[in-house]
Structure 1
Amino acid sequence: MTKIYPYTDFPPRPDEQLNRKLTLVSDEKDTNAALFQNDAAFDWMYPEHFQLISLKQWTPIAVARKAAEFLAEPGARVLDIGSGIGKFCLTAGYHYPETTFHGVEQREELVYFAEEARQYTALDNVSFMNANITQLDFNQFDHFYFYNSFYENIDPDNSIDDTIATSFSLYSYYTQYLYKKLAEKPSGTRLVTFHCFDDVIPLDYCLVNTSYDTLLRMWIKR
């Protein structure tokens, strides 16, 4: 029988996160090096039910690092659209301190845990926002990462939880909205997609590289 974990109300702070400390190393730099060495080490920072869905829902460490390598430029602002528990932004921010990484996520609980992890890792070039993408000013960001966060609208059985409304019409709406916003960006804008349909990619974005069996795609606007 599949074990079902209840949704954690926000607030209060979940009991399982109280007084949780890494004991393997004491130096902050060494602690981060340990956390970002693999997925199991990173996922340790989160409650068990988030660890169990990590493979399906969160960007793997190796993928995040590859995507960040393409997106990172000194002084650039990178937006992760649907940032979940913050795994991409935190990994990218750790490896590329001269770039700022911002995550937007509409589930308040996930933003809470992302911010907890950001504080634990002390990454000042990372931030998270609890918002819908339609509330953002895309002009504030230079490059973008997108791990198909709209897909749960057409595959609700594989959704993170049932705390937000999902529908095919919402999938179409968000896809068209993101397409429009990406189309408005200037030449040179970079985009990385993972497990994503190409219907969100404007025609003037050129595919310049792929990785992980073409599931990870890197684009630059002409």
Structure 2
Amino acid sequence: MKIRSHIYLLLLFLSFACEKPTPYGDLYVQVRDEQGKEVAGGNVILYGNEEDFVDQINPISVPQQTDENGLAFFLNLDSGTYYVAASYTNQEEGIEKNNFLVNTSVKVVATEIGYRNSITVIIWDSFITHLTATNGKKWQVYKMIEVTTEEEIEVPECIQDDQWVFYRNGNFEYLSDSLNCEEGQDDNFTGSFAPVGNGSYIVIQDLDDQIRYGLYIISVSSTQMLAQYGPHLMYFKTVN
């Protein structure tokens, strides 16, 4: 009986030993700012596809905080492509840095003995969270100032009712309800916007890739925006 018992235990052990381990991979995320400095105390979230990354919905991970070396760790991941969102908020200065306008993806490799994957994510001062919304955030010009003279000028009647609509995924709409600035030309168009350089300057273009506007964003809050367009400072407010 003892021999049979030992044989049974040996076979049981061998059956477990012969089981194929589940492949897994670890992901090390290094977060740095636009100057290359490691960002400690930042938040990092993983998404399973580009759409969820853009809309910041359906995360597939619990947010991880970067350590003193700017590193965040995600362990025991399945193989596949993940989208990495990183952000840091300086509460004292009211500045948020993130990479929300850059679809940052990484392909994770998984093996039976594990695999260390890594990616570096660059974040920078960002106005995107205030400027945009998933369903579109509408802005309207209510005040204009001549840069050289610093004198306030009247907002042209043809743009008083116009709305600039910024979407979180980079899409853009220009909505003009009544008067057009040039007779015979429809001011309405749809297109996209994208930051240039460090993100303070954005280019707005239509679906034919024709550049319509270039705005230098000076400041953006949840309800107010100040931007320079050519020789003018333009003050925007949000509208419902």
- One fold, TM greater than 0.5? no
More strand by share: 2
Normalising to structure 2: TM-score of the pair? 0.21
Normalising to structure 1: TM-score of the pair? 0.22
